[in-house]
Structure 1
């Protein structure tokens, strides 16, 4: 016979963004708990609303199976004295295993006999295993947590009830001094407390009290309601805003979609501002006409946490709130229209970017200098190059507008809108709107070269600037989102095929800095910055390039002397492709052997052909010169691999016929210098000694 377990944690309303991760944690932890305790089950399902996290386990075994374990004790020579009597060690061992000396058997392990007893372990019941969950539930982790009352413990929100049912029986547990029971709670305003007779009654009983605990069911209802409103009014489906849909789903327990309106006068405000005011600030879905023009309409769709009762009053209340928000937006936008871009730029020199890094105007100057240095690698037209100075030197002007002060998420977008309205070149306006992209690790990338250049330059400046004042992320601490910005650089360089050696680029950037101290800091931190960016390349190789399981390949490439992001990605792909091919193992073994011996050569080791006295070292030297010549050309990663694959037989012949560690120090050092030169060449591709070969 199997059982059904229901476990529900009832809390104060949680932030929407934590609910899905929390339910995933709960599911993983409960699943792992039962597996670790040898308790089979059929299915596990999670439920959630803003006020609850729940898990339902079906087909749960009645309990653990009894088992017998063979327990090892002391060696026989310790367990018995010379007359064969049991010693205190043997007696103590058996007593500790709830056995007697009569139960002792002997087994030989590595030529030594040891005492063993068979220990019978009675399996725990399902209820006993479930009770052990009380130490697991407090371990759910959240981005933020809080304390309440006089308690010392912390959780996402105060816990008000705990429901734990194994079929129809309450399992005794406690969570933060809250004892388990069979009672759960319905909708805060529309429902009542519910006493569950059986774990299987959970969903149906709460639905009667206006709570849809199945998140998928709740979201499907929201989607159907919104689509019905759109069909009824000939509006375009606004559900492409997946992020808003996910958030709204976790804001309600019983959804009812409705629509409201606002004054057409507000349509003069840029659509980005209107959308932000509605979606980001009020969690409303903006509405557009369902035709080719998709014109923005003076309506919105909202989702109420409740039923249709008094919906007209709810509509009017939401319209009133939105109207006040849009009135503010319209006022700020109209006030900003009175000033020119140059008026805003003049204010930047009075606004601090960071107390250690100067003003926003200083930031603009630095990123513009970087943009000029990076431009040749973006394959830009002369016209685009000519726009760099203007785009860079007005890049941050919208940060001092009242509109962005009110709607901070629109930084960049407002710059693009205002620039277009004030007659700036369209390419400049587009670049300004894209300068912060991507805004997340996997966010949308800039589409224009000028926008990509501006974004990469801005992010490079942030990295170099903050590293120069020793504000380097550590652990989870990254207040200036430098990891995200470094990932943005990596993705932009990959998307726009930007091939540049980072060490050379940073050196060039350092030369544009006036301050001697800052220049020195840039130079000193170059290796640290490059390693920081390489960590993001590693992340990209794992998540986007399909190399999550090829740890050795990523390590070999990222620990190489190569600092070109594009080359690092290409080299990793080439090595991963070659791993299963013939000749890979032999090539890697040869170059690894070279690397191991090259480390014995001093930094000042010099190579002289006059000291060659075997044909094999002469042949290897000639092969090296040919490889250096080939690799000096613009070869693909696969072609570069082929160069190393072709030199490996020559390396093997060298080792077969030449004693590297010769007695003559001059000859020995010369041969080591030859190997070091090969190792230096291969290290520009990968550290072959880091590869795992079978």
Structure 2
């Protein structure tokens, strides 16, 4: 079948950079899915995007659908044909439903009986015709966080649509949508380029390049990086590249040209994070450092255009940045005048949640929790004083001008202002660290103080949200509860506190909410939901570790309140899977678990009802394993715990080989089942081995 390339381009007003990539993925996925649904063959797709266009080029698209031979089975002959050999009403109805006459029906045998069949030939339609009919609906189905209407039309899109291209090979497909009829003319750079004819899809990128548009985002991104590196080499600078900023700039320009500017060195007295954030958030500038990592009074910006009159462009950017930095300096100097205690008091006027009080209330809950945790960890009086102070002022910078302007500097400015105010260095550091980890893969708190306050902050946020009925649903998690819960798991794994468990953290938080009158739901119900919620976050950690799904299920079915121990147990089992005798171990524990379910409640093991040496041997092995397991548990030593259990496996097999568990004597049978229940209760503290599967 003949093939052609297909090009679809939507040209519009400038799309906000943060929406371009998602919109492009949608267009690509929906277009290729539409081709598949319509039985149109194609090879692969390529995507292109700039602030003013979204485009997909699909290679080797079939010119028409393949013909379809369809065979539909109807009623049996005994129903479709009467005694005189005439078609019945059932046959006529079937034919009518299939769009055929009864004379076109055929009789064929199927599985020993004769049936009526309708055989239809459906000729494939031309791809161009299908595109003209289907693309408008496809384009209307694209969704965005925000859309707009323009003119008198009802069509909604991320920005007003100004032109469209739909080329199927060299054929223009005149798709009509959003008040525009697709043609073969695209538009170049808004100021440097012109309208240009695209003769075929394969010429698309080259034609745009001549009009000062680099259509491929990855090429634009690499061009920006290359220009930054050239400036580094030429000037002897170091230009740290924020990946998020680089991605944003890539979608802000069609033809990137990097240039540099300067600002007054007096602004270097402002903390570097403030300067960098001001440049990044307000102007989308890259900072410049010397070889030692010290910030220099220069910046890099990327122009959407060529290299003409760069000096004038630099001066304009310098003027704008100077005003921004003057504002930042004002905020910084004003914040330094604000006493920390006054800033903390202001938190009592900042609403946290209507049903959970103010940020001041939240801070007091956090302080209460960390002091209880410090007691469990055996902190000295000096350490407790530092922890109390850090918890009390951990969020004071929320009251400052700088954090109000740049919320992402929360913690960074808290540390800076605390140091300037003469606070202990450990306290200042904990203010910053209690925000870690802020996202997956972020750094963890290095100090115990920072780790404790971070855990308390995140646990309180998650528990208090659940306490008033706020939970993530589907992909919606506006309060970042999944991220916070994942942070708790990561810190508990990193710190591996022996005297602090996840269950205890949840209970402390719930108790405080109850005392303060914020708990609006039954505590046990909330606790159960929270354990399931944190279990899912722990599952994600195990998956990232590369642990097998069945081993994950096995360890999560046991106690999950100590995430580090759960991870260690999973690692031990992952190692054991490679051992030849592990299958025997799993079979022994699984068989014991299955029979243990039949044990009667309240029946205790009684040696007087043991009549065989195998029973006595198993009971003795269980007692020995219990002691060894308890020792491993006290040390949080997963390997020692497993080694204590694994010694039971051969004794269990020997027991099943020679002992009939389901004996006729009720007392003997119940005693044996009670013994197996004891063993299963011990083993289940490590993992539910019955979840582990082996290839047959």
TM-score, L = length of structure 2: 0.88
| 1:112 CA drift (Å) | 4.2
CA distance in structure 1 between the partners assigned to 2:39 and 2:378 by the alignment: 61
Aligned partner of residue 424 in structure 1, secondary structure: coil
Q: How does 1:277-288 map to 2 (within 5 A)?
A: 277-288=278-289
Look up the match of 2:404.
405
| 1:331 CA drift (Å) | 1.0
Alignment pair present for 1:204 and 2:215 = no
Q: How does 1:73-112 map to 2 (within 5 A)?
A: 73-82=74-83, 86-90=87-91, 93=94, 96=98, 104=106, 106-109=108-111, 111-112=112-113
Look up the match of 1:515.
515
Superimposed CA distance per residue, residues 14-43 of structure 1 (whole angstroms, 9 cap, x where no aligned partner)? 221222233233333434444455544344
| 1:511 CA drift (Å) | 5.7
Look up the match of 1:555.
553
**Structure 1 stretch 350-359 or stretch 611-620: which is displaced more?**
611-620
Q: CA RMSD in A?
A: 3.4
Aligned partner of residue 678 in structure 2, secondary structure: helix
Structure 1 residues 625 and 133, CA, compared in 2 at 3 Å: closer, same or farther? farther
| 1:265 CA drift (Å) | 2.0
Look up the match of 2:679.
678
CA distance in structure 1 between the partners assigned to 2:208 and 2:378 by the alignment: 61
Q: How does 1:64-213 map to 2 (within 5 A)?
A: 64-82=65-83, 86-90=87-91, 93=94, 96=98, 104=106, 106-109=108-111, 111-116=112-117, 119-128=120-129, 130-131=131-132, 132-146=134-148, 154-176=156-178, 178-213=180-215
**Preserved contact between residue 510 and residue 523 of structure 2 (Cα < 8 Å):** yes
CA distance in structure 2 between the partners assigned to 1:685 and 1:93 by the alignment: 62
Alignment pair present for 1:215 and 2:246 = no
User: How many residues were matched structurally?
Assistant: 687
**Preserved contact between residue 562 and residue 685 of structure 1 (Cα < 8 Å):** no
CA distance in structure 1 between the partners assigned to 2:447 and 2:117 by the alignment: 74
Look up the match of 2:479.
480
**Preserved contact between residue 104 and residue 118 of structure 2 (Cα < 8 Å):** no
| 1:46 CA drift (Å) | 0.5
Structure 1 residues 589 and 107, CA, compared in 2 at 3 Å: closer, same or farther? farther
**Structure 1 stretch 139-148 or stretch 424-433: which is displaced more?**
139-148
Look up the match of 2:631.
633
Look up the match of 2:453.
454
CA distance in structure 1 between the partners assigned to 2:630 and 2:669 by the alignment: 28
**Preserved contact between residue 464 and residue 522 of structure 1 (Cα < 8 Å):** no
| 1:215 CA drift (Å) | 0.9
CA distance in structure 1 between the partners assigned to 2:673 and 2:103 by the alignment: 67
CA distance in structure 2 between the partners assigned to 1:515 and 1:158 by the alignment: 55
Structure 2's unaligned 5+ residue stretches are: none
Aligned partner of residue 136 in structure 1, secondary structure: helix
TM-score, L = length of structure 1: 0.88
Look up the match of 1:237.
239
**Structure 1 stretch 343-352 or stretch 276-285: which is displaced more?**
343-352
**Preserved contact between residue 153 and residue 179 of structure 2 (Cα < 8 Å):** no
| 1:439 CA drift (Å) | 1.6
CA distance in structure 1 between the partners assigned to 2:552 and 2:188 by the alignment: 52
CA distance in structure 1 between the partners assigned to 2:130 and 2:516 by the alignment: 66
Alignment pair present for 1:269 and 2:270 = yes
Structure 1 residues 525 and 514, CA, compared in 2 at 3 Å: closer, same or farther? closer
Alignment pair present for 1:321 and 2:323 = no
Look up the match of 2:388.
389
Look up the match of 1:525.
526
Structure 1 residues 272 and 125, CA, compared in 2 at 3 Å: closer, same or farther? same
User: Runs of 4+ in structure 1 displaced over 6 angstroms?
Assistant: 376-383
Aligned partner of residue 566 in structure 1, secondary structure: helix
CA distance in structure 1 between the partners assigned to 2:628 and 2:294 by the alignment: 58
**Preserved contact between residue 377 and residue 498 of structure 1 (Cα < 8 Å):** no
CA distance in structure 2 between the partners assigned to 1:262 and 1:533 by the alignment: 48
Alignment pair present for 1:344 and 2:346 = no
Look up the match of 2:8.
7
CA distance in structure 1 between the partners assigned to 2:378 and 2:284 by the alignment: 42
**Structure 1 stretch 630-639 or stretch 216-225: which is displaced more?**
630-639
Structure 1 residues 572 and 309, CA, compared in 2 at 3 Å: closer, same or farther? same
Alignment pair present for 1:17 and 2:18 = yes
Alignment pair present for 1:48 and 2:49 = yes
Superimposed CA distance per residue, residues 559-612 of structure 1 (whole angstroms, 9 cap, x where no aligned partner)? 333321112223333344444543444444443444444444465554444444
| 1:143 CA drift (Å) | 4.1
Look up the match of 2:304.
305
| 1:431 CA drift (Å) | 2.0
Aligned partner of residue 444 in structure 2, secondary structure: coil
**Preserved contact between residue 562 and residue 684 of structure 1 (Cα < 8 Å):** no
